[in-house]
Amino acid sequence: MSTILAIDSASDRFAVGVDRDGERVIVVADAERTHTTGLLAAIERLLGGERPAAILVVTGPGSYAGLRVGIATAQGLALATGAPLHGVRTFEAIALAADGGGTVTAIHPAGRGEWGMQRWEGGAPAGPIELTASLPEGERLAGEGAGALGGTEVGPGERVRALLEALAPAARRGELTAGAEPFYLREPAITISRRQRAAG
């Protein structure tokens, strides 16, 4: 049996899942912002001591702290188990989950009243990743928060399921690009402390 692990920590709630030769189990966190305390425990419960054949991890855009926890956890597991690690952008995961063969605008909340978005067509990017305060009207929207705007709601659980359904076979065959670098829409809002500024 070959087990593929998927991790998505781009949202306030994380999701993890495994695919065991086509049989999938997905877990979504009950509470928000529990990545640091709950993610590794959820993975351990899902794997039950198994070594994954490969690890898929969502690399952003998304929550700065959440992405760092998810990617670092995935990197640590890959190092410890020897499993190859494959990063997938949030918008690709959304497009996979909302796939109907047509055009979709994948969206994700970016804070400060803004959204990240990218247009996809036929399963491929059809435009750049953008940061916007106003979403386009008359387009098919999919992503977190899209349901309230008349589109397709795609949260972390749906993204993890889509990753496993679409990419687990390619991961088993070793056909995915290795590596997982975080992708952010803007620089993190972290500054040098007053003490460091005074010392500098």
Tell me the pTM: 0.92
**pLDDT number for residue 188:** 62
Q: What is the pLDDT along the chain (200 residues), one digit of tens a residue?
A: 799 999 999 999 999 999 999 999 999 999 999 999 999 999 999 999 999 999 999 999 999 999 999 999 999 999 999 999 999 999 999 999 997 668 999 999 999 999 999 999 988 999 999 999 999 999 999 999 999 999 999 999 999 999 999 999 999 999 999 999 999 998 766 556 667 667 76
Which residue is associated with the tokens 């977190």? 144
Q: Residue 122's CB: how many other CB atoms inside 10 A?
A: 11
| H or E element, residue 35 | helix 35-47
What are residue 59's DSSP bridge partners? none
The pLDDT of residue 200 is 62
What architecture is domain 3-90+155-172?
A: 2-Layer Sandwich (3.30)
What are the structural domain ranges in the chain?
A: 3-90+155-172, 91-153
- State the residue for tokens 């993975």: 43
pLDDT in the model for residue 186:
86
